Structure 1
Amino acid sequence: MKNKKYLYVLTIAILFFSCEEYLDEQQQFEALDQNDVFSDIRLASDFLDGIYTRMVTEVSAIGSNPDILPAMVMSDEGYPGRMDSSVPTIYNSYKNSDYLGLMNRNPAINSFTTPQFVSRYTESWKGINTVNTFLANVDKINNGTEEEIDRLKGQAYLLRAYYYHLMTKRHGGLIYLKENLNLNESFDRERESYASNLADIIEDLDIAFDLLPVRWESENVGRPTKGFALALKSRVTLFAASPLVNTNNDQQAWVNAATAASDLINYANANGLYELADASNAINMDVDHNGADLFVSEAEELLPYRSIFNGPGRSKVFPNEVIFMESIERTAGGGNATNPLPRLYLTVGFDIAKGNSRPMNVGATANIVAKYETKNGLAIEDDPSYNPQEPFINRDPRFYNNILFHGVPWIHTTSGPKNPTNVADLARINENGVLGLDLHDPATPANRLWEVRNHTGYRIRKWVPNGYYLTGGSRGQLDFHVNTIVFRMAEVYLNYAEAANEAYGPSGTAPGSTLTALDAVNKIRNRVGMPNVNAMYAGSKELLRERIRNERAVELCFEGFRYDDMRRWKIAHLDENRKVKYLFMRWQGGESALYPTGFSYEDVEQIDLEKTFTDKNYWWPIPSSENIASPSFNQTEGW
């Protein structure tokens, strides 16, 4: 049948009404009929490539817009620093757990203020529709080799599983569409169970693994490989084994998760893939009191680790540890430069973003900083050498990669910066007895509140290279790259450690693996020079469980894991995880025995920012319009 319409207007159905507005990107398909597109390997490939425009992560972006409130704000990792416009209002919606209000926002009306953290529900349905349209027509390709067609099909099955993973881990079981709904049939469908959707995800991933290559040729580097399929399988089986889903603590679910992670580890070793970056010399940094490396923007010993996340030059170099990342950076144009999104916008902030009328940023909280051990491998509360009045010294080397703290040199704008010192000034009361230059001044006129100021006492250093700045709008200096990582090997080792510990205990191993749970977590620690997990944390499954959770919080911080980790562990409702704490530094007049740096340090709980979280908040609602269109498509329990 001839179809002169642009193919992307094929919608799923009224049931998923929000999919009615569809992609406009690939205009080359206008005036082509369906047979024209799918009979040609190049056009069919271009059609499928459209799905990558909707591929998001927890801190990702669609088009040129970064997400204004990513997962790090939903967890205990960060707090938004923007003062004006809609950010405080939307943050309150998150804080008060008004998830249904957020899901009911209309992106067409609230295009800038509807976070992709929310709108990815509708975006995922659009991606699934594209996959199903492709798979329904792929057999029409008449000028491609079997291998070429298989690789396209492999990508399609993989991406369908990925989009369902995005939705089901948030909303629970939906409807796993393997073909698009017929517009002439009833749309009244019931939601399926999470277990049913999981089985379909795994089936798609197994098909994708069989069809995808181990590696792509140079012109296609960056496309998903077999490793992607195994990594997603590890992630979804771990989620399914966790207390949120695995309410009866079925041990087979943990065995499945341990096996999935072990399969990827063995596969990587057999194919010479995905090696952990070796920054073991980082433990030798001099970060003692006034140490030579304490106040260094980017210490040389940390560069092998830091290069996973960013590096010099605009051309990306795929780190060996990365399984999949966005190879082409999503950018916002302006002036003579383009700016990588979204992690840069989310974490650069403050007067580095001076002149941008709607700048983004998230400040790290004292909550997450407290999870960094000392160099001795002990929690700060267990190490007698730790002094809370000198909290920045002798910490896990990853602290100096991830957290920007007071006194570290950090280049700012060269034209009229708010902080002209080129040093992070995050003190409540600085050496001059006034409010720190990187904090919001309460006396700032209302018309200047759009300028981002730090609240938490910490910035995020992980994604931000020193020397980057915005001079106005999106114009600025850009001679580096930021890696938007979807999967990396560190996650897989931590997945294995958690699942193997629950299935077999600290010293047990999954079938076919030589790694114990303890071995796996130690690999992550040792590669930055940290000692093995201390014996006081490894004597039982219960003790090691808490240390593994802490290790995930440190290693994967600001990568979008923490919120879903807290959900799947069912700890998000606990008092300590609903609180928000800031570091308050105050100048005390000079160095003394009590105040070795001259500052006092206090983690202050922000009562008005404490989050509301009850049992119903563990699963998100779907838009109310879905229930109106199809009453049998039941709303999530509790909503």
Structure 2
Amino acid sequence: MKIKLYILLFIFAPLFVSCEDYLDKQQDQDGMDQYDVFEELLTAKEFLNGAYADLITEVDALGSSADYLPGMTMSGEGHPGRLSDIGATDFLSVYPAFSAGEYLSLMDKGSNYPNFVGRYKRAWQSIRTTCSFLENCDLIADASSDEVDLLKGQAYFLRAFNYHLLTKRHGGLIYLKSTIDLNEPFNQTRESYESNYEDMIEDLDLAIALLPVTWESGEYGRPTKGAAMALKSRISLFRASPLVNESNDVTKWEAAAEAAGDLINYAADNGLYPLIDASAAITMDVDHNGADLYVPEHELLEPYRSIFVGPGKTKIVPDEVIFMVANNKLPVINGVLGFPSTALTNGFTFMKGNQKPMGIGATANFVEKFETKNGLAIEDDPSYNPQEPFINRDPRFYNNILFDGVPWIEETQYNKTGIIDLATVNENGASGLDRHNYALTSNADLYKVRNLTGLLIRKWRPHGWLWSSNRNFHVNENVFRMAEVYLNYAEAVNEAYGPNGTSSNCTLTALEAVNMIRNRVGMPNVNSIYTGDVASFRERIHNERAIELCFEGIRYDDIRRWKTAGDDENTKVEYLEQYWQGVSETYPTGYRYSTEEQPALKKTFSEKHYWWPIPTSEIEAVPSFGQTPGW
């Protein structure tokens, strides 16, 4: 039987290497004939592994640079402190184009940065690989049916995952299930998102049936049955949300609730993905002059913090993590492969400027979403004092946000005091050592990245650990974790059945699911002032997702699917400014704090910006395909 191997001819062809090219490279390396690839399990598995190399999730690094425009910047969670193109060619043009709404100019960039531009190309390559594999995998002669099924399950998962990465940004495309003959004309038009959704779910149902519960340690990083169920939950929620579900068809919310409920039940039945318990963290003394307020990494928070960073080079997969990127590589001299989240959120104090740190700091308007430890929004808690904004907040605040005055040890270049210094003007009349000062920064220093926003991101920032060849930490680039699944469930159930409703297949109420996420860090149940009706609880669910999943590449797609990306709170960028006044009743810390909007950074947003265009070159190649509406 002859193996079907076609060169792809369709609008994405300029972005691909052909299957023949790939196999030619294999022949050059291994002395193999291309028709031998699918005759042996080992070479067929290596062929499928190529699809992993092209899978660029929201927490991956594409090559050796941190992302120029990651989700946490597009969502307004943070803003970069990098002020120069030195070591990051063309970086300074990216955010202005995005904030001006010039999305097509970004998609037409010739480089791979921002990541989603390179990912658009790489996702199609991965899809090509999975289609070719699924066409030919039954020809593997030296494998059992079980071994082939495990590979098929991965291929179905990878195809669906790549299509989700594409369709969540660009809308409906063309769902390829086979390679295309060079001699056949290509004049197809784009399919609807709903059609693509049905194909993704079909692939994921096949993956769920074929993938294992767990893998042997040597296969770390491959998807499991739970990972496929988590992706199904995420996709189902996206499809049920206002961006896609314009008529608010309640059956789509019900389907999303059932998809999350299936995984909740599956995890419970198999003893998988239990939420890590850090409930004692609520007892930290973080009041005015509290003993724990300035502790860098409190031991009571350590169980929660271990989900994200930890000591030692070897990753230990946290219990609640369902799927993570399997990178564990040392940093290279001029790159960040293996630690993209750390490179995004750190600056020159941790990484040299030519290692491309982005120094993204948390924005003041986003940080205001963290409740007080009383379980109230800051605007609803009379005890909250904006002139002492760091005290008595949700314990997750102290895992995620790093503020002025916290002792912090790094391979520092500027701040050798060992204490975070983010003052706009400190008691000596100078700018803090960790903060950029435009007036005093020379051109030669612009690439030495420091903070602009007045708040650092602690979530991916290792304390007391070295970046160089003596690295003694690891970073978990989590793709799916169980906390998201509970929040997916809560959102879908609330929309379909209300705060106290349940799905058809799970006994948890929407409110109980949210409280599980809060209680595991010691936060009280959602206050009753937020649970009176669907609309009130919807706002609290949205806020809970913002806090629990912050800086994980999820929020940008959340505010798009909710159709709130154009709201003022999501288009503006505010910095925290702090000026020394001397300690007084008015200024308990001695600083006057204020949030200051940065008008030059405000994002232009209209209806067309909810869906991204595809590269112009593809429309020119095949006009029948059609550009995204509005572009």
TM-score normalised to structure 1 length: 0.94
1:622 aligned to which of 614, 624, 629: 614
Please name the residue that 2:187 is paired with. Answer: 188
Q: For residues 406-454 of structure 1, what are the alpha-carbon distances to aligned partners after superposition, in whole Å with 9 as ceiling and x for unaligned?
A: 111111326xx21111111011011222111111122222122111021
Alpha-carbon spacing, 1:624–1:448, altered in 2? closer, same or farther (3 Å):
same
Please name the residue that 2:127 is paired with. Answer: 128
How big is the alpha-carbon RMSD for the aligned residues of Structure 1 and Structure 2?
Answer: 2.0
Alpha-carbon spacing, 1:64–1:356, altered in 2? closer, same or farther (3 Å):
closer
Structure 1: which 5+ runs fail to align?
none
SS at match of 2:343: helix
Q: In structure 1, what is the Cα distance between the partners aligned to 2:384 and 2:95? A: 34
Alpha-carbon spacing, 1:96–1:247, altered in 2? closer, same or farther (3 Å):
same
Please name the residue that 2:238 is paired with. Answer: 239
Please name the residue that 2:479 is paired with. Answer: 486
- 2:629 equivalent to 1:631: no
Residue identity opposite 2:579 in structure 1? R
Q: In structure 2, what is the Cα distance between the partners aligned to 1:575 and 1:326? A: 34
Q: In structure 1, what is the Cα distance between the partners aligned to 2:26 and 2:328? A: 23
Please name the residue that 1:517 is paired with. Answer: 510
Alpha-carbon spacing, 1:27–1:614, altered in 2? closer, same or farther (3 Å):
same
Conserved? CA contact 1:287–1:393, under 8 Å: yes
Conserved? CA contact 1:338–1:478, under 8 Å: no
Please name the residue that 1:434 is paired with. Answer: 430
Please name the residue that 1:424 is paired with. Answer: 420
Please name the residue that 1:465 is paired with. Answer: 462
SS at match of 2:479: strand
State the shift of 1:327 in Å.
2.5
SS at match of 1:65: coil
Q: In structure 1, what is the Cα distance between the partners aligned to 2:329 and 2:72? A: 20
Residue identity opposite 1:561 in structure 2? I
Conserved? CA contact 1:507–1:517, under 8 Å: yes
Q: For residues 172-224 of structure 1, what are the alpha-carbon distances to aligned partners after superposition, in whole Å with 9 as ceiling and x for unaligned?
A: 00000000111111121100000000000000000111111111123223311
Conserved? CA contact 1:497–1:548, under 8 Å: yes
Conserved? CA contact 2:27–2:34, under 8 Å: no
Please name the residue that 1:579 is paired with. Answer: 572
Residue identity opposite 1:389 in structure 2? Q
State the shift of 1:87 in Å.
2.5
Alpha-carbon spacing, 1:261–1:461, altered in 2? closer, same or farther (3 Å):
same
Residue identity opposite 1:439 in structure 2? R
Conserved? CA contact 1:410–1:422, under 8 Å: yes
Q: In structure 2, what is the Cα distance between the partners aligned to 1:223 and 1:70? A: 24
The number of aligned residues is: 622
Q: In structure 2, what is the Cα distance between the partners aligned to 1:450 and 1:357? A: 10
Residue identity opposite 2:379 in structure 1? E
Conserved? CA contact 1:274–1:323, under 8 Å: yes
Please name the residue that 1:349 is paired with. Answer: 347
Alignment of 1:560-575 (within 5 A): 560-575=553-568
Please name the residue that 1:68 is paired with. Answer: 68
Q: In structure 2, what is the Cα distance between the partners aligned to 1:42 and 1:26? A: 17
Q: In structure 2, what is the Cα distance between the partners aligned to 1:298 and 1:326? A: 24
Q: For residues 324-352 of structure 1, what are the alpha-carbon distances to aligned partners after superposition, in whole Å with 9 as ceiling and x for unaligned?
A: 002233553239x9873211111121422
SS at match of 2:11: helix
Alpha-carbon spacing, 1:233–1:578, altered in 2? closer, same or farther (3 Å):
same
2:103 aligned to which of 84, 99, 102: 99
Conserved? CA contact 2:243–2:561, under 8 Å: yes
Q: For residues 482-507 of structure 1, what are the alpha-carbon distances to aligned partners after superposition, in whole Å with 9 as ceiling and x for unaligned?
A: 00111000000000000000000000
Conserved? CA contact 2:84–2:446, under 8 Å: yes
State the shift of 1:512 in Å.
2.0
State the shift of 1:265 in Å.
0.2
Q: In structure 1, what is the Cα distance between the partners aligned to 2:415 and 2:376? A: 36
Structure 2: which 5+ runs fail to align?
none
- 2:401 equivalent to 1:408: no
SS at match of 2:623: coil
Residue identity opposite 2:410 in structure 1? H
1:451 aligned to which of 448, 451, 454: 448
SS at match of 1:332: coil
Alignment of 1:519-538 (within 5 A): 519-538=512-531
Conserved? CA contact 1:340–1:481, under 8 Å: no
State the shift of 1:26 in Å.
10
Conserved? CA contact 1:405–1:424, under 8 Å: yes
Alpha-carbon spacing, 1:26–1:540, altered in 2? closer, same or farther (3 Å):
farther
Q: For residues 273-294 of structure 1, what are the alpha-carbon distances to aligned partners after superposition, in whole Å with 9 as ceiling and x for unaligned?
A: 0011100000001111111111
Alpha-carbon spacing, 1:39–1:91, altered in 2? closer, same or farther (3 Å):
same
- 2:603 equivalent to 1:611: yes
SS at match of 2:101: coil
Query: Percent identity at matched positions?
Result: 58
Alignment of 1:82-161 (within 5 A): 82-85=82-85, 86-107=90-111, 111=112, 114-161=113-160
Q: In structure 1, what is the Cα distance between the partners aligned to 2:300 and 2:395? A: 9
SS at match of 1:351: coil
SS at match of 1:603: strand
